[in-house]
Amino acid sequence: MKYVPNDVPEVDKWTEVNLVYESALAQMEARLKVLNSEFQMVHNYNPIEHIKSRIKTPESIVKKLKSKGIEPTIEAMVEHVNDIAGIRIICSFTSDIYRIADLITNQSDLEVISIKDYIKQPKQSGYQSYHMIITVPIYLSTRTVEVKVEIQIRTVAMDFWASLEHKIKYKFEGNAPQYIKQSLIDCAQMVSALDDEMLRLNDEIRKLTEETRTEHP
């Protein structure tokens, strides 16, 4: 059942919404840690470098609703804001991103609502990341609700770029000088080239390690 807040006074509704989204984040973080540990056990390496999670601030939720021309109510935020609960998964290599996305997609009780692949098609700004909106079941005492979580998956280099670009956007309130925007686009291309090269190098090292193992078992 899609999550809709209980019909209770606004203060209690807000408390419930927070609890539900915090639980969704905790649930997803626990599942990702299990996947990472299992991967370590089977393949001897961790596809996930680290995980960050956050609940969107009320100010940011209201801003998003207003930008969509929607009256900011608790019901409207649950219905229309897909990233109230957000998880960011940072990986070493681009191939890990798709591996993790597949592992998430294959969990039968999770539903993938939408995917935005800004790696295959970066944003005009140069932004690269893989975004999924999924729902996760949360078992409350009297009902089970499907809660939306936004998952952003990106490499360390993509994350470095995104955090600097975010700071610049904030500092210039979205109107950074053209030469700074261009530098960011150039950096994004370097990030992409670096990620490709690091992946190539890692594949090379893996092949060499496997050959050595076959020669000297």
Which residue has 């996760």 as its token pair?
A: 136
Residues that bind ligand 0O2 (CB under 6 A): 56, 60, 64, 82-83, 116, 123, 125, 127, 131, 162, 165-166
The CA-atom distances, in angstroms, between 56 and each of 25, 63, 75, 85 are 12, 11, 15, 6
Please say whether the beta carbons of 41 and 34 come within 8 A. Answer: no
CB of 177 to ligand 0O2, least distance (A): 17
**What is the Cα–Cα distance from 131 to 194, expressed in whole angstroms?**
21
Fill in the DSSP letter of residue 126: -
CB of 138 to ligand 0O2, least distance (A): 20
In the bound state with ligand 0O2, the residue whose beta carbon lies nearer, of 56 and 99, is 56
In the bound state with ligand 0O2, the residue whose beta carbon lies nearer, of 104 and 162, is 162
Which one, of 88, 144, 140, 146, lies nearest residue 112 by Cα? 146
Name the catalytic one among 150, 173, 197, 210: 150
CB of 174 to ligand 0O2, least distance (A): 10
At CA 147, angle to CA 107 and CA 138, rounded to 5? 75
In the bound state with ligand 0O2, the residue whose beta carbon lies nearer, of 99 and 148, is 148
In the bound state with ligand 0O2, the residue whose beta carbon lies nearer, of 60 and 183, is 60
**What is the Cα–Cα distance from 66 to 55, expressed in whole angstroms?**
18
Please indicate whether residue 210 is annotated as part of the active site. no
CB of 157 to ligand 0O2, least distance (A): 13
Q: Which residues are catalytic?
A: 150
